A = this chain, B = another copy of it.
Amino acid sequence: MISRISILGTGLLGTSAGLALRATGFPGSIVAWNRSPEQGRLALEMGAFDSLVTDPIEAALASQVVLLCVPIYATLDFMEKLAPVLGTDQLVTDVGSTKRVISEAGTRLFNQSGRAAFLPGHPMAGKERGGATLGDANLFRGAVWLFTDDPKAQRSPQATELVKEWRQLVQSIGSKVIDLDPARHDELVSWVSHLPQFLATALSALLEDQVGDAPELKDVGGRALREMTRLGASPYSMWRDIALTNTEAVEHALHALEQRIAHLRENLRAPELRDEFEQANRFRRD
Chain A residues proximal to chain B, CB less than 8 Å: 124-126, 128, 143-144, 146, 176, 178, 188-189, 191-193, 195-212, 215-222, 224-225, 227-236, 239-240, 243-244, 247, 250-251, 254-258, 260-265, 268-269, 273-274, 276-284, 286
Q: How many copies does the complex hold?
A: 2
Given B208, B254, B260, B277, which contacts A265 in the complex, CB threshold below 8 Å?
Answer: B254
Query: Considering the chains assembled together, what is the distance between the CA atoms of A233 and B278 in angstroms?
Result: 9
Chain B positions within 8 Å of A202 at CB level: 257, 260-261, 263-264, 276, 280
In contact, A228 and B243 (Cβ under 8 angstroms)? no
Given B212, B224, B239, B268, which contacts A277 in the complex, CB threshold below 8 Å?
Answer: B239
- Kindly report which residue of chain B lies nearest to residue A274, judged by CB atoms: B236
In contact, A265 and B251 (Cβ under 8 angstroms)? yes
In contact, A217 and B192 (Cβ under 8 angstroms)? yes
A120 nearest CB across to chain B (Å): 15
Query: Considering the chains assembled together, what is the distance between the CA atoms of A234 and B228 in angstroms?
Result: 14
In contact, A199 and B261 (Cβ under 8 angstroms)? yes
Chain B positions within 8 Å of A262 at CB level: 254-255, 258
Chain B positions within 8 Å of A255 at CB level: 262, 265
Given B192, B261, B263, B281, which contacts A207 in the complex, CB threshold below 8 Å?
Answer: B192
In contact, A192 and B212 (Cβ under 8 angstroms)? no
- Kindly report which residue of chain B lies nearest to residue A261, judged by CB atoms: B202
In contact, A280 and B204 (Cβ under 8 angstroms)? yes
A10 nearest CB across to chain B (Å): 22
Query: Considering the chains assembled together, what is the distance between the CA atoms of A210 and B198 in angstroms?
Result: 17
A152 nearest CB across to chain B (Å): 25
Chain B positions within 8 Å of A239 at CB level: 273, 277
Q: A193-B222, A258-B261 provided; 6 other pairs, C-beta below 8 A?
A: A124-B222, A144-B222, A178-B220, A199-B261, A247-B268, A250-B268
- Kindly report which residue of chain B lies nearest to residue A256, judged by CB atoms: B206
In contact, B269 and A243 (Cβ under 8 angstroms)? yes
Given B126, B146, B196, which contacts A203 in the complex, CB threshold below 8 Å?
Answer: B196
In contact, A269 and B282 (Cβ under 8 angstroms)? no
Chain B positions within 8 Å of A196 at CB level: 203, 221, 224-225, 228-229
In contact, B220 and A193 (Cβ under 8 angstroms)? yes
Chain B positions within 8 Å of A193 at CB level: 220-222, 224-225
- Kindly report which residue of chain B lies nearest to residue A207, judged by CB atoms: B283
Chain B positions within 8 Å of A261 at CB level: 198-199, 202, 254, 257-258, 261
